[in-house]
Amino acid sequence: PPPELWASFRGRRMGGRELPLPHGYRGVLLREGELPHGNKGDPKDRWVTVTGTFDVITDWGADAVPSPSRGLALALQWGPLAHAV
């Protein structure tokens, strides 16, 4: 299993574990910005740019490291399963 991580948030102890994203998946960081100049589209349209990517995510729990058989770790198993079906 991945090593345990420990931190503090507002004085409360947090335990975490880094979880790799499933093969073929990548996380993206998005930043909302202004529409390009000259674009007078629908005012509800939003313009975003990718500012970074990641391939691991940290699952945090209060006072303990989250179980690898629950929560985020379990949710990350659904992508490959859905793709296989």
Q: Residue ranges of the domains in the chain?
A: 5-84
Q: Which residue has the higher pLDDT, 59 or 43?
A: 59
Pick the CATH number of 5-84 from 3.10.450.30, 2.40.128.680, 3.40.50.720, 1.10.630.10: 2.40.128.680
In this prediction, residues 13-29 reach a mean pLDDT of 93
> For residue 59, which of 42, 46, 71, 49 has the smallest C-alpha distance?
71
Angstrom distances, CA of residue 8 to CA of 14, 49, 63: 6, 31, 9
Residue 38 pLDDT class (50, 70, 90 cuts): low
pTM of the model: 0.70
Residue 36 pLDDT class (50, 70, 90 cuts): low
